[in-house]
Amino acid sequence: MGTDAHAHARVSKERNKYNELLSSVKRTERVSDIEIEEKLKKLRRLIVLYGIPTSPPNLRPLVWKLLLKVHDMSSHDFLRLVSRGRSPVADKIRNDASRTLKSDSDFQTCVGEQKLIRLLDAFAWRTEERGDGESLYVQGMNVLAAPFLYVQPTELEAFNCFARFIELTCPLYVLPTLEGVHRGLRLVDKCLQIVDAKLYSHLRRHNLTAEIYAFPSVLTLSACTPPLDQVLCLWDFLLAFGPHMNVLCVIAQVLLMRDDLLATSSPMKLLRMFPPLDAQPIISIAVTLVRDIPEDVYDDLVRHCFDPRENY
């Protein structure tokens, strides 16, 4: 059997594993919440072992909705929000939307600026209606919304996935102060010092902290680093295990540059723009790093996206 045949057989096997599991995940009257959680655990295991196959094309959208527990979507509510038109932060949204993933021609063709503007305006109105007038839109939300619009087949599905993701998993990332982002950056420094003291010290000697070199990667959960197909693979992992894991994914990207960073007297030249994203080795390193992080630090890592209490 040739290499292509082996690859095809492997992909078919992985796809079948997903199909078998997803067919049993569908909510019925006979399936309890506990059983669904067990199925989701198996789904997360599949993701970390194999990633999500690109075929069939409806697989990733379905898996993302399952991981986010997006089941009931009201088109009436979404259309009502869209019908309100320009939000109070419309100018900021349009300014950022025009720059979002500008170099990715596939994103520009499949999504484009207007869909992104509609989603972000609608989310701003939703946020205002919920009584949070200060957090209608912050830097980075445009890039966080982009993968959902690219993956989900409709704007309704993208909006509901984005809203649930932001509101439940990383609300501190969209505060006006970007509190969660700055916590994440401090944790990049703290965890890097734990897992690689030599590299951490080298960067500190050159006055480099995560605030300086990792801000975009933490702000956007690494979605700022092309190519988009690898961003989606990384987000499969982040949606499965939590956005807090992006801190370790950022460290993994730095560790992949370790030899070059240690060999140079100007590490910022290398860190100014991270190399193209390669999701699989980044995920593998991040998973390995979990074992090296003390329990109390890992607890801070998990909570930094959503828990307003700060102990670090």
Residues 187 and 284 in one domain: yes
User: In which residue are the tokens 């990667």 written?
Assistant: 217
Domain containing 200 equals 179-303
DSSP-based three-state secondary structure for 53: coil
- The enclosing domain of 266 has a CATH number of 1.10.472.80
Q: Which runs of consecutive H residues, i.e. helices, occur in the chain? A: 3-25, 33-50, 59-68, 75-83, 90-97, 105-110, 112-129, 141-151, 155-164, 179-195, 197-205, 210-213, 215-219, 228-241, 245-255, 258-263, 267-271, 279-290, 295-303
- The enclosing domain of 90 has a CATH number of 1.10.8.270
Does residue 4 have a pLDDT over 70? Answer: no
In a domain, 234, yes or no: yes
Q: Which residue among 169, 196, 213 closes a domain? A: 169
Q: What are phi and psi of 64, to 5 degrees?
A: -60, -45
Mean pLDDT of the region 158-164: 98
Residues 216 and 265 in one domain: yes
In a domain, 312, yes or no: no
The amino acid present at 16, given as its one-letter code, is N
Residues 46 and 144 in one domain: no
In a domain, 308, yes or no: no
DSSP structural state of residue 86 = S
| Cα→Cα distances 116→141, 146, 196, 272, 299, Å | 10, 7, 39, 27, 34
Does residue 232 have a pLDDT over 90? Answer: yes
Residues 187 and 267 in one domain: yes
Torsion sign across C-alpha atoms 168, 172, 178, 183: negative
Of 52-61, 130-139, 147-156, which gets the smallest average pLDDT? Answer: 130-139
Residues 293 and 198 in one domain: yes
User: In which residue are the tokens 């994103």 written?
Assistant: 107
Residues 230 and 207 in one domain: yes
Residues 193 and 153 in one domain: no
Of 25-39, 114-128, 202-216, 232-246, which gets the smallest average pLDDT? Answer: 25-39
Mean pLDDT of the region 83-90: 98
Residues 159 and 189 in one domain: no
Does residue 296 have a pLDDT over 60? Answer: yes
pTM (2 d.p.): 0.93
Instruction: Please state the domain count of the chain.
Output: 3
Crossing angle of helices 155-164/112-129, nearest 10°? 50
Could you give the CA distance from residue 299 to residue 17 in angstroms, rounded to a whole number?
Answer: 32
In a domain, 216, yes or no: yes
Residues 111 and 199 in one domain: no
Residues 253 and 285 in one domain: yes
Q: Which residue among 140, 169, 198 closes a domain? A: 169
Q: Which residue among 169, 195, 220 closes a domain? A: 169
Residues 256 and 157 in one domain: no
In a domain, 63, yes or no: no
In a domain, 311, yes or no: no
| Cα→Cα distances 58→3, 14, 15, 70, Å | 26, 15, 12, 15
Which contacts of 102-107 are long-range, i.e. CB under 8 A and separated by 24 or more positions?
103/226, 104/226, 104/227, 104/228, 106/228, 107/146, 107/150, 107/228
pLDDT band for position 23 (50/70/90)?
A: confident
Yes or no: say if 312 and 300 are a contact pair by the CB < 8 Å rule. yes
pLDDT band for position 191 (50/70/90)?
A: very high
Residues 205 and 147 in one domain: no
In a domain, 290, yes or no: yes
| Nearest Cα residue to 278 out of 260, 295, 253, 298 | 253
Does residue 127 have a pLDDT over 70? Answer: yes
